[in-house]
Amino acid sequence: MLATALLPNPISDTTGLPVKRGTGRLQRLTAAVASAKPFYQELTTASATSAEQLLVKLLQRHCNESGWIVLVAPKQLPSKALANYLGLPVDKILIIHSDAIKDPAKTLHKLLHTSRCRVVINFGQPGSEQLTSQLSQCAASQQRWFYQVNQVTTQTH
């Protein structure tokens, strides 16, 4: 039996009662967790090393997802020893190599519509603005995380 059931007149309207509000770091953390929704994000890296570090951070961020984390055309992957050391979810990661992809746009659309796929990280060439918009909308409507990782190329003299 609930404790409120023992009260003769439980309070049903709490609009006049003072409310203790969270402040500082806890409030920001709570707001960030509450607003965390699947989305599209474009990320840029300067080198293969920074791309690998970014991938590790993304895998750590999504290690508790209930579905697959799909890496599309990754150029470099962390070693198995590093993945095990960092506790990365290697049993939930699927890798699609660039030579296995005939139509990148179709592949990405299929992945975002697959119910068991929760996170898609694309290292392949980004498509047009129209394709990017479609993939972003698809990720939001299907409740998926979608990342486009671009590597900045620098010219050497």
Q: What is the CATH number of the domain that holds 89?
A: 3.40.50.300
Flag whether 83 is in a domain.
Answer: yes
Flag whether 17 is in a domain.
Answer: no
Within 8 A by CB and 6+ apart from 37, the residues are 140, 143
Indicate the number of domains in the chain.
Answer: 1
What percent of the chain clears pLDDT 70, i.e. is strictly above it?
A: 73
pLDDT (tens digit, 9 = 90+) per residue, 10-49?
Answer: 443 334 444 445 456 656 554 544 455 568 888 888 888 8
pLDDT at 1: 38
Flag whether 15 is in a domain.
Answer: no
Mean pLDDT, to the nearest integer, of 132-143?
Answer: 91
Tell me: pLDDT of 106 over 90: yes
Q: Decide which of 151 and 120 is more confident.
A: 120
Flag whether 109 is in a domain.
Answer: yes
pLDDT bracket for residue 153 (50, 70, 90): low
Flag whether 22 is in a domain.
Answer: no
Flag whether 131 is in a domain.
Answer: yes
Q: Which domain holds residue 130?
A: 39-151
Query: Residue 67 has which token pair?
Result: 């579905």
Flag whether 2 is in a domain.
Answer: no
Flag whether 91 is in a domain.
Answer: yes
pLDDT at 126: 76
User: Could you say which DSSP state residue 102 is in?
Assistant: S
